[in-house]
Each structure stands twice: as C-alpha cells, then as structure tokens.
C-alpha cells in the first residue's frame, strides 16, 4: 500500500491521473466534474474510460481526490451569499433566469413574463401571477390561468332559468 509521499498527480486539459509509484494502476478523474473511473493498468492514461459522477453529483470543493475517490458532492459551494447554480457539471454564482434581488428571492417579470400565463407581479411573494378578467389561477399550477365557468354555480336574485340562457365563453359569458 502506498503512503501519501508515494502518490504522484498529473493534470492535463482532459483528465487528472493519479498513480502510485509502486504499482501500475491508474485512476481517472475527468473534466470539471473530476469524474471517476475504475482503476486499470493502462500506462498511457485512461481518459477514455472516465465516467461521470453519479446523477445529481458534481465536483466538490477542494481537492479533486479525497480518500482515493473522486470528490463528488450533492451541493454547490460558492463564495458569495448568492445561491449557487448547477449546470452541466459546473457550479456558478448568481441568480437563475427570472430571479433577482440580494438573495435571488424576487421575481423578475421582464424575463418571459415571470413564467406567468397572463400577468406577473414583481417582488417578494409566494405567488406572483394574476389572471385577466374572466379567468382564475389554476388550482394545479399557480402560473396558469383557467376560464371561470360563469354559467355554473349560484346565480344572482334576478336570474330566472326559464327566462335567461347563460352561455359560457372563454373569459366571459353571454
């Protein structure tokens, strides 16, 4: 078994190779993710054998190799207080598209109408979408608006079913 002084680490643009001086085994760690591959005996490197970190994991903070295994984690570590975004194996600082504010908790309606079907209300709130007249927020998705069925349910005092006919239209009724 090799001790810490027996391990050599070499880095190129495609892989990180760890090798012990007393054996011919190699371990690959590739790209930004420092992805892990099984140990092998290929002397010329083994970047073609490298595999990605398990789904949902990516390169961790600090050393790429910890206890002889790739440093893959479940969460990003960023320097500022802003949330960290994970995309294609990389953690970055900043707010996701459609968000703004000191801690990215305010909706930005300028980006794709805030994800709202009809109207977006900027600021800090649990729900920031509203609907045009004749529509209500969907109970299944608060970003979507559904037609109010004005002809269903209780009618006013002056409504007489024998005298009036109600026809629902999209966003209104006649």
Determine, yes or no, domain membership for 87: no
Determine, yes or no, domain membership for 86: no
Rounded to the nearest 10 degrees, how much is the dihedral formed by the CA atoms of 31, 35, 40, 45? 10
Determine, yes or no, domain membership for 173: no
Last residue of a domain, one of 55, 72, 89: 72
* Same domain for 68 and 8: yes
Determine, yes or no, domain membership for 29: yes
Condensed to tens digits (0 to 9), the pLDDT of residues 43-71 reads: 444 333 333 344 445 555 666 556 666 56
pLDDT at 84: 59
Instruction: Give me 118's structure tokens.
Output: 């009809």
pTM of the model as a whole: 0.39
pLDDT above 90 (res 77) = no
Distance of alpha carbon 136 from alpha carbon 154, whole angstroms: 17
Determine, yes or no, domain membership for 163: no
What CATH number does residue 140 fall under?
2.10.25
pLDDT above 50 (res 11) = no
Instruction: Give me 171's structure tokens.
Output: 């966003």
Determine, yes or no, domain membership for 57: yes
Name the residue range of residue 131's domain.
106-147
Contact 106, 122 (CB under 8 A): yes
Instruction: Give me 165's structure tokens.
Output: 């006919």
* Same domain for 65 and 10: yes
pLDDT at 171: 80
Distance from the Cα of residue 30 to its chain's centroid? 22
pLDDT above 60 (res 128) = yes
pLDDT at 173: 74
Q: How many domains does the chain have?
A: 2
DSSP-derived secondary structure letter, 40: B
What is the pLDDT averaged over residues 7-19? 36
């Amino acid at each position: 078994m090799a001790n810490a002084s027996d391990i050599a680490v070499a880095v190129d643009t495609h892989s990180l190779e760890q090798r012990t001086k007393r054996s011919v085994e190699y371990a690959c760690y590739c790209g930004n993710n420092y992805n892990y591959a099984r140990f092998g005996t290929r002397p010329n490197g083994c970047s073609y054998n490298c595999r990605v970190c398990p789904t949902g994991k990516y390169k961790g903070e600090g050393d790429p190799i910890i206890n002889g295994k790739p440093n893959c984690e479940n969460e990003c570590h960023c320097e500022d207080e802003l949330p960290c975004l994970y995309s294609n194996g990389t953690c970055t600082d900043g707010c996701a598209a459609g968000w703004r504010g000191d801690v990215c908790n305010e909706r930005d309606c300028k980006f794709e109408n805030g994800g709202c079907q009809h109207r977006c209300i900027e600021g800090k709130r649990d729900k920031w979408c509203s609907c045009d007249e004749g529509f209500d927020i969907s109970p299944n998705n608060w970003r979507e608006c559904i037609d109010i069925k004005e002809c269903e349910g209780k009618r006013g005092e002056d409504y007489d079913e024998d005298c009036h006919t109600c026809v629902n239209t999209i966003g209104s009724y006649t």
